Amino acid sequence: RSVSLRPGRATSLWSYQSRVLKGDPASVQALPDSYLGPILRLRRGQKVRIDFINRLDQPSTVHWHGLHVPDTMDGHPRFAIGPGELYRYEFEVRNRAGTYWYHPHPHGHTGEQVYFGLAGLLLVSDEEEQALPLPRGQYDLPIVIQDRSFDDGNQLRYLSGTGPTARGDASGAPSAPGNTMGGRGMMGGMMSRGAMMSGGMGDMMTRMMGFLGDTILVNGRPESLIEVATHPYRLRILNGSNSRIYKLAWQDGRPLTVIGTDGGLLERPVHKDYVMLAPAERVELWADFSKDDLGTQLTMMSLAFEGAMGRMMDMMGGSFMGGAMGGSSLAAGVRFPIFTVKVARKANGSLELPDRLSAISWPRLQDAVNRAKPRTFRITMAQMQWGFNGRSFEMTAVAPNEVVKLRTTEVWEFANDSGMMTMAHAIHVHDQQFQVPERRHGMGNNRVRDGYVDQGWKDTVLVMPGDRVKLLMRFADYPGLYLYHCHMLEHEDLGLMRNYRIE
């Protein structure tokens, strides 16, 4: 699919296109000028059937991120289908109301397929949420944030030889200028933008560290101005980026009012000066513009923070990220604007922020069968491959410490200290919404600590360098083989993913 994203030539992308064969046509909402997949609107308890037809020239699957579904419906890479094939997904929506999403999950190509356009939102509603006076309709705004880089011909730059324009192109490489890597010195080679985006060592470094683009897209568009009315809004923000972490804050310093996380509404709203949002995480904000004057503009920033690259910064001599990711690139942790809302019209009526949002029955730490000795997963790097406890992804393999019992509650601990290669990761566990009962901070990270929203249900959690984070979860309903992995998609594709089996 071609979408006009910048003046001049249109950008070639991959895109989910769909139509409703049976049921409510409003359950699929296409976004007209966006490459993003349609917004799927589902109700808790609803039974869904989705036929996925793969028109790419490589294998793919669809993962319903955050949903609790049987393992054959979860989009595991072992169920990838080839070009022209069909996979029928059928499941009952058992999750709470919330902001979920869907994206591909084939072995080794998830980063590529998401980057070139394959992702969409999946919004679940339920009775508890319906009964609340929350902003609806035009006041319920999805905001998907992604970073991309464009070449001079308006095509997306990623690893060499990837994307819709890569194949059939005689040179075998995307149309990036300065595509020569050759045998240049390692540091010199890594520091140049052309090299970073071309083959060899540049690609290897991007795979290891994660891709960072220099252009922020919102809902699949480069325009960053959103017109709003004098009314409260529900902003459903998804970090749909491959590897970039955002530190969200309003530019004028007003606090963020958080009402939801990955797995739906919080018990009560929480006020934050800023919120950290790692790849795949969602946060829902109550943003009230009813007291703002017409014409007011308010920008959502990503504030500066340290530590995303951990010790890698020292190793690479500090200039690494700025240099290697290109002179015009946005380094990890720099300050930049994401989008701006402009108060453009008067609204009728208003809403009060409820002080009670949801009644939640939490699992308790004392219910965990392994509370005395949590299962520990250490993030490791060996032979240029990421891994958990030294093991990288294998299609169907499960290690002894990766087997859990159905109908039990467990604590898992993720430890992020892989020596010189320690950097931030976004840990995601399939089939689960978990709690974060404990974080131990390792390397400082003082400028991110107040930005975690650990009060709610989560399926993805930011683990900063040196940190140890505990997850509390219950394995219910479905036995089977599921994934846990880093949601920085280059890390995932480079092995930071494993199976676990519920039996």
Instruction: Give the footprint of ligand C2O on this chain (CB under 6 A).
Output: 63, 65, 103, 105, 280, 428, 430, 483, 485, 487
Site for Cu ion in 267-306 (CB under 5 A): none
Q: Please choose, out of 109-117, 158-166, 336-344, 425-433, the segment that lies near Cu ion by the rule CB under 5 A.
A: 425-433
As a whole number of Å, the CA-based R_g of the chain is 22
461 interacts with Cu ion by CB under 5 A? no
Q: How far is CA 211 from CA 17, 140, 149, 277, in A?
A: 26, 30, 10, 16
Please say which residue, 193 or 498, places its beta carbon nearer to ligand C2O. Answer: 498
For ligand C2O, which is the closer residue by CB, 104 or 213? 104
Tell me the closest approach of the beta carbon of residue 459 to ligand C2O, in angstroms.
8
Residue 217's nearest CA partner among 326, 304, 109, 336 is 336
Q: Which C-beta is closer to Cu ion: that of 48 or that of 436?
A: 436
Closer by beta carbon to Cu ion, 141 or else 208: 208
State which residue, 325 or 427, has the beta carbon closest to ligand C2O.
Answer: 427
**Pick 3 or 497: Cβ nearer ligand C2O:** 497
Torsion of CA 490, 55, 483, 395, to 10 degrees: -90
Beta strands 264-272 and 256-261 are antiparallel
469 makes contact with Cu ion (CB under 5 A): no
| Shortest CB 108 distance to ligand C2O, Å | 13
Asked if 491 touches Cu ion (CB under 5 A), the answer is yes
What does 468 bind: Cu ion, ligand C2O, none (CB cut-off 5 to 8 Å by kind)?
A: none
The distance of closest approach from Cβ of residue 24 to ligand C2O in the complex, given in angstroms and rounded to an integer, is 26
Quote the longest CA-to-CA distance of the chain: 66
What residues contact 137, with CB distance under 8 A and at least 6 apart?
none
Name which of 199, 212, 232 is nearest 349 in CA terms: 232
Q: Which one of the spans 6-14, 405-413, 441-449, 490-498 is the region binding Cu ion (CB under 5 A)?
A: 490-498
Sole binder of Cu ion in the list 44, 76, 425, 470 (CB under 5 A): 425
Q: What's the min distance (Å) between Cβ of 253 and ligand C2O?
A: 32
Q: Are 38 and 28 in contact (CB under 8 A)?
A: yes
Q: Which does 430 bind (CB under 5 to 8 A by kind): Cu ion, ligand C2O, none?
A: ligand C2O
Partner touching 491 among Cu ion, ligand C2O, none, CB below 5 to 8 Å by kind: Cu ion
Nearer CB in complex with ligand C2O: 105/207: 105
Give least dist CB 498 to ligand C2O, A. 11
Which three-class secondary structure state does DSSP give residue 34?
A: coil
Query: Rounded CA gap, 212 and 205, in Å?
Result: 12
Report which residue type is found at 469. V
Using CB distances below 5 to 8 A depending on partner kind, what does residue 282 bind out of Cu ion, ligand C2O, none? Answer: none
Can you say whether the dihedral through the CA atoms of 436, 441, 444, 450 is positive or negative?
Answer: positive
Closest C-alpha among 105, 52, 162 to residue 393: 105
Tokens 């923000």 belong to which residue?
237
Cβ–Cβ under 8 Å, residues 435 and 363: yes
CB-based burial, 258-293: b 16+ in 10 Å, e otherwise: bbbbbbbbbeebbebebbbbbbbbbbbbbbbbeebe
Task: Among 421, 488, 489, 502, indicate the residue that binds Cu ion (CB under 5 A).
Answer: 488
Q: Residue 226 or 494: which CB sits closer to ligand C2O?
A: 494
User: Which window, 34-42, 258-266, 354-362, 479-487, contacts Cu ion (CB under 5 A)?
Assistant: 479-487
Question: Where does this chain touch Cu ion (CB under 5 A) — which range of 61-69, 336-344, 430-438, 487-495?
Answer: 487-495
Could you tell me how many residues of this chain bind Cu ion (CB under 5 A)?
Answer: 4
Integer CA distances (angstroms), 278 to 71, 238, 421, in order: 25, 9, 19
Residues at the site binding Cu ion, with contacts judged by CB under 5 A: 425, 486, 488, 491
